[in-house]
Structure 1
Amino acid sequence: MTSAMDLVPAPRTVEGPMRCGVLFDDDTTLWAAPGTETTERWLRATLGAALGLTLRPGPRDAPGGVRLCLDDTLEPEAYRLSVVANRGVEIRGGGPAGVFWGAQTLRQLLGPEAFRRAPVRPGTRYGVAHQTIEDAPRFRWRGLMLDVARHFMPKDGVLRCLDLMAAHKLNVFHFHLTDDQGWRIEIRRHPRLTEVGSWRARTKIGHRASPLWEDKPHGGFYTQDDIREIVAYAAQRHITVVPEIDVPGHSQAAIAAYPELGNTDVVDTTALAVWDTWGVNPNVLAPTDHTLRFYEGVFEEVLELFPSEFVHVGGDECPKEQWRLSPAAQARIAELGLADEDQLQSWFVRHFDTWLATRGRRLIGWDEILEGGLADGAAVSSWRGYAGGIAAARAGHDVVMCPEQQVYFDHRQAAGADEPVPIGYVRTLEDVYRFDPVPTELTPAQARHVLGTQANLWTEAMEDHARVDYQAFPRLAAFAEVAWSDLPAPRERDFAGFERRMRAHYARLDALGVGYRPPGGPRPWQRRPGVLGRPLEGRPPNR
């Protein structure tokens, strides 16, 4: 039996626990109110399989049973989990998502065996102590971004990622589907995007300064049915999938497939291939009507697949040199009465801002999209520190805080020489735990524009799910608590208490098969000696 004091993320309030409680065995029944069917199915499929229980349907008042209820007095994602001896377990949620998050808490209370896929001790009776837990999230956007363009993750790995998000009460999956190094989503009206753009001939190993190469093709893409499956699987776990189609930079894979999308009056785009190294690429989209129509067609198919309110258009790291040299781009600047190439990028982004808004969606992009102005409904992913998020919130735009100095999980977790592929700043588990998504510079009214936060997994140095596991965990557990729990100010947080709770959580991660970084450092097989990274000097200040 696991104590409520070991929960991750930490709940708002816990009354109890007491010695007596409820036992789970072959007689345990499950009753679900209308509107809670996704949690009902999940409990039977997941807890039932892990503990060898049928959780057969039973009456609402069955002694020792589990009851799922909706309660409109609670916030939509809030829940109340009550365990009463001789009566059973009741999960009340303000909405279907709240019931689901309550079920995640119940899973933790049942112990690490509840995180396996089949029983390891058949016939065992699992118990939950008498207690009441009341809980609700701090932020509505609790996200994880996964870059599948630099290194492709097969569909099963994406579904596994969604399961890990659900176990940590994260609810937004930012799906980075296109970049210079690969195009990962089938677009039926433009088949060469995947025929050509989804694979590259070789891949740089480590940082772009590394002399090492993997001299074999790398690639893959998701069919539209794959995408539908991923979106449906996420929805069953109350996770929203936000797709990212990056424009006008980070587009060499698209230009390699359709050379007319590039600045053909400056560079021979027919000679371009999908990029095989890392960094900021000079080959960007041409600001032509043809490019706009092409990407409108792309986004039309994207909107059919993704029902999310937000659609991410990237908008970051767009070098302007080709536009400065391009007679066609300069003619476009003159035609539109723009001052320079920065305003040309703003015009490009604002076109899709308006286009999405007329279809009932909202544009979100990296904080570079602030440069030159932004339409009223657009939102900003603030990655270059806090400054972009502060500026956006002050201008009345919604913000998702994801500063690279705090929550870029491709960055190294320690300064030691054994740390594999040392990239960026040192961001320890404690650093992440002390991250606060709301800048102190904002007024209360401005702070309400902070929708939430997300951690980002850029995969240049993560070639498979084992490397993704290592970079994400255990830091994603700390991040989940930052995003969910109502924590005190960063310097006042009880990191020692979190470390104690993590001892129980490591057992859950072990049961899930997560290859996390152990507290004492990487295991021998997690090291990558000789693979160069790009460590930055010093550490960014904690807020």
Structure 2
Amino acid sequence: MPSTTDLVPAPRAVDAPARRVVPLTADTTLWAAPGTGTTERWLRAVLGPALGLPLRPGPEDARDAVRLRLDRALGPEEYRLRAVAGRGVEIVGGGAAGVFWGAQTLRQLLGPEAFRRAPVRPGARYGIPHQVIEDAPRFGWRGLLLDVARHFMPKDGVLRYLDLMAAHKLNVLHFHLTDDQGWRIEIKRHPRLTEVGSWRARTKIGHRASPLWEDKPHGGYYTQDDIREIVAYAAERHITVVPEIDVPGHSQAAIAAYPELGNTDVVDTTALTVWDTWGINPNVLAPTDTTLRFYEGVFEEVLELFPSRFVHVGGDECPKDQWRISPTAQARIRELGLGDEDGLQAWFTGHFGRWLAARGRRLIGWDEILEGGLAEGAAVSSWRGYAGGIAAARAGHDVVMCPEQQVYLDHRQDAGPDEPVPIGYVRTLEDVYRFEPVPPQLTPEEARHVLGAQANLWTEVMEDPARVDYQAFPRLAAFAEVAWSDLPAPAERDFADFERRMTAHYRRLDALGVAYRPPTGPLPWQKRPGVLGRPIDGTPPDR
């Protein structure tokens, strides 16, 4: 029988006083209090079919039942799971989300069979050890960035990753929908964004210095109904989807579709196509009223599709070369008294910050948006190390910590020659487990601005779902524990215990069909010999 001590992420407190078991059988009923419907539906749709248990409705006082209820004395995501022989299993949450996270713990307690889609042992009896688990998350933002712009992930793959996030108690999907290499969301008033911007003619294989190409078109996009489905599916799992529409850099796909968005006075934007390689692209949006009105139209449709409080506008890696020589850009700098090109980008970002705020939303962007000043209420994703997050928190801005040196999961997992497409820093499972989202330089008051943490899956070198799985797991499990559990300081964390618990968790990932990196290194079919990555020379990799 699975052990409470095998849970990932680790719970806050466990009390298991007796070696008794609460059985779950075909006769087990499910009672759900008002407000717990998302978990009730999930248990019947996912856990029941996996174990062959109908989980029929039954009275609250039925023997050995599963009961779901709310207790507003608990925090919104806090839960208490109580398994008592003769009484059954009770999951109490401070809110609907807390009940749902308790159900994820219940699933782990039932063994790897609970992670399948149909029973492997029809008629088997399952049980939960007599115990009480009390648990709550450390952070309210426990995120995963999924880059579908560089390599498109079909809708079913996104839904699968929402399930994987839920299984690890992650609650924010940062959906990177646009970049130089592709535009992935239908915008009805600007149809060429997907007609032209969602496909590129070919794709670089490996690092941008690689001589290898995949000489066939790559692309795809989500219709607005696809987006609605993704958002609804996430909401049922208490996951918020935060869309990212990248401006003013990382925009060549949009400019290829609508050349008037680019700096037409310094480059022939009609000759631009969707970019087919990686790195920092020189083609950025023109700081004109035409561009502002165009993207206001984009964001109007985005807000209709995504109810999230935050909307991400990118803002990173925006070269200023075209603006420096553009008469139009320079005239705008003088007109607005901005001083320089950094001020121009701050004006551009500030425009959309105010625009979003007027509609009840909050802007969030990469830490470059701090340059030139940041509007009140805007938040920062700190990716270039901790410095941006520290500066933002000290200035009173909320922060999500996602430093590339710690939690960029596209980076290699080992220094060995067998690692597929080795880019970036070496970041092992233990490295991720010792990531600390709150910099020690912050005062307690400043630290309250750290909303949480996020792991980022940039997909330049992830050409299919198996490669995404390989880069994400098992490190995403370590990240999930960092974001959820109240762990000690990094040097004091018990990585040996985490590894021990991962031996059980690998069986759950196997049942889910996750193509993770084994602890012993890549399997023969996970290697990609001859594909260039970035040499291990200590230089920072490109985002």
Provide TM-score, normalisation by structure 1: 0.99
1:216 correspondence with 2:244:
no
SS in structure 2 of the partner of residue 384 of structure 1: coil
Runs of 4+ in 1 over 4 A off after TM superposition: none
1:52 correspondence with 2:41:
no
Q: Which amino acid aligns with 2:398?
A: D
Q: Distance in 1 between matches of 2:539 and 2:112?
A: 35
The alpha carbon displacement at 1:19 in A equals: 1.8
1:36 aligned partner: 36
1:524 aligned partner: 524
Q: Distance in 2 between matches of 1:15 and 1:141?
A: 28
Quick one: structure 1 residues 495 and 539, their matched pair in 2 at CA, closer, same or farther if it must change by over 3 Å?
farther
SS in structure 1 of the partner of residue 245 of structure 2: strand
The alpha carbon displacement at 1:291 in A equals: 0.1
1:413 aligned partner: 413
SS in structure 1 of the partner of residue 453 of structure 2: strand
Q: Which amino acid aligns with 1:345?
A: Q
SS in structure 2 of the partner of residue 91 of structure 1: strand
- 1:346-376 deviation line (CA, Å, top 9, x unaligned): 0000000000000000000000000011111
2:355 aligned partner: 355
Q: Distance in 1 between matches of 2:176 and 2:158?
A: 12
Deviates further, 35-44 or 13-22: 13-22
- 1:52-74 deviation line (CA, Å, top 9, x unaligned): 11000000010000000000110
Q: Distance in 1 between matches of 2:314 and 2:507?
A: 37
The alpha carbon displacement at 1:537 in A equals: 2.4
2:484 aligned partner: 484
SS in structure 1 of the partner of residue 30 of structure 2: strand
2:311 aligned partner: 311
Q: Does the Cα contact within 8 Å between 1:3 and 1:17 map onto a contact in 2?
A: no
The alpha carbon displacement at 1:338 in A equals: 1.1
Quick one: structure 1 residues 441 and 539, their matched pair in 2 at CA, closer, same or farther if it must change by over 3 Å?
farther
Q: Distance in 2 between matches of 1:406 and 1:486?
A: 18
1:155 correspondence with 2:174:
no
Q: Distance in 1 between matches of 2:514 and 2:501?
A: 17
1:72 correspondence with 2:72:
yes
Q: Does the Cα contact within 8 Å between 1:4 and 1:17 map onto a contact in 2?
A: no
Q: Distance in 2 between matches of 1:343 and 1:409?
A: 32
- 1:113-157 deviation line (CA, Å, top 9, x unaligned): 000000001010011100000000000000000000000000000
SS in structure 2 of the partner of residue 244 of structure 1: strand
Quick one: structure 1 residues 484 and 442, their matched pair in 2 at CA, closer, same or farther if it must change by over 3 Å?
same
Provide TM-score, normalisation by structure 2: 0.99
The alpha carbon displacement at 1:539 in A equals: 9.7
SS in structure 1 of the partner of residue 348 of structure 2: helix
SS in structure 2 of the partner of residue 423 of structure 1: coil
SS in structure 2 of the partner of residue 296 of structure 1: helix
1:272 aligned partner: 272
Q: Which amino acid aligns with 2:240?
A: T
Q: Distance in 1 between matches of 2:539 and 2:118?
A: 44
1:296 correspondence with 2:293:
no
1:242 correspondence with 2:280:
no
1:504 aligned partner: 504
1:252 aligned partner: 252
2:366 aligned partner: 366
Identity of aligned residues (%): 85
2:283 aligned partner: 283
1:133 aligned partner: 133
Q: Which amino acid aligns with 2:10?
A: A
1:448 aligned partner: 448
1:87 aligned partner: 87
SS in structure 1 of the partner of residue 139 of structure 2: coil
- 1:474-529 deviation line (CA, Å, top 9, x unaligned): 00000000000000000000000000000000000000000000000000000000
1:423 aligned partner: 423
The alpha carbon displacement at 1:229 in A equals: 0.1
The alpha carbon displacement at 1:536 in A equals: 3.6
- 1:437-469 deviation line (CA, Å, top 9, x unaligned): 000000000000000000000000001110000
1:332 correspondence with 2:342:
no
- In structure 2, the gaps of 5 or more residues are none
Q: Distance in 1 between matches of 2:10 and 2:417?
A: 33
Quick one: structure 1 residues 214 and 17, their matched pair in 2 at CA, closer, same or farther if it must change by over 3 Å?
farther
Q: Distance in 2 between matches of 1:78 and 1:514?
A: 28
SS in structure 2 of the partner of residue 100 of structure 1: helix
2:436 aligned partner: 436
Please, what is the CA RMSD of the aligned residues?
0.8
1:395 aligned partner: 395
Q: Distance in 2 between matches of 1:41 and 1:21?
A: 25
1:342 correspondence with 2:323:
no
Equivalent pairs counted in the alignment come to 540
Q: Which amino acid aligns with 1:226?
A: D
1:463 aligned partner: 463
The alpha carbon displacement at 1:18 in A equals: 2.9
SS in structure 1 of the partner of residue 353 of structure 2: helix
Q: Distance in 2 between matches of 1:449 and 1:321?
A: 34
2:322 aligned partner: 322
Q: Does the Cα contact within 8 Å between 1:144 and 1:173 map onto a contact in 2?
A: yes
Q: Does the Cα contact within 8 Å between 1:426 and 1:539 map onto a contact in 2?
A: no
Q: Which amino acid aligns with 1:53?
A: L
